[in-house]
Amino acid sequence: MTERVRRFFRNLTGRSDAVLVSHLLAQFDATTKAVDLVRALAGGEIDAAEGDRRMDAIESEGDDARRELIVELRQTLAAPMDREDLNRLSRSVDDVLDNLRDLAREFHLYGFAAEPLLLEGVDNLATGLAMLRTATEVLVDHPEDTARHAAESKKNDVRRSYQHAMAQLLTGCDDVDTLLLRRRELLRRLDITGLRLAEAADALVDGAVKRSH
């Protein structure tokens, strides 16, 4: 049986939905690995150079999953949600991973051994990511639950963690020195990552709402 025929039968039986979702979940899994790695860096559990190297492999996993999703999406007759929203969700998750990749690289370049101020924000990011993964996982069989889980993922407090950490930095130093600025860059990167996660949640909510009509 040719690949074209296999795809045709997947579309007829609805199996293409499961294939697309599996690629999305693979993206989430790679991004979750990246969050765990950043937490290990922030806690001083892993050398910065080693963390930077491991992040390269994780980013490749996520890129491969997104690439496979795009190929499948182009050849699928009917997707589990609007194609544009599905692609936007995938792109937003990819943006989260890219920002984690940048955070790990900057951690290494700036010569950090640990940064406790990142921990709360990273934990909140992990919580929001897990909720969004759950929302994606139920997209095919329980689409009515997808929007609720996706909306909950936006309540991840990453931005509030950023604001609290910045307040500690700015009130704990008499002058703004080079170290403070470097630490601020790491926190800013985490804040941007949280915003990208919120965009992914919005894409999933939009797609779920369209699917339910």
Yes or no: say if 97 and 59 are a contact pair by the CB < 8 Å rule: yes
Q: Which of 107-121, 123-137, 142-156, 184-198 has the lowest mean pLDDT?
A: 142-156
CATH number 1.20.58.220 given to 3-212? yes
Secondary structure (3-state) at 169: helix
The burial class, CB within 10 Å (0-12 / 13-18 / 19+), for 114 is middle
> What is the per-residue pLDDT for 159?
82
Q: Which residue matches tokens 């992990």?
A: 126
Exposure on the CB side of residue 33, measured as CA atoms within 13 A: 17
Burial of 164: CB neighbours in 10 Å, binned 0-12, 13-18, 19+: middle
pLDDT given at position 99: 94
Give residue 66's pLDDT.
96
pLDDT of residue 100 exceeding 80: yes
Q: What is the pTM of this model?
A: 0.81
**Looking at this protein, which amino acid is placed at residue 74?**
R
pLDDT single digits (tens) 25-73: 999 999 999 999 999 999 999 999 999 999 999 999 999 999 999 999 8
Average pLDDT over residues 194-199: 91
Domain ranges of the chain: 3-212
Of the pLDDT bands very low, low, confident and very high (cuts 50, 70, 90), residue 135 is very high
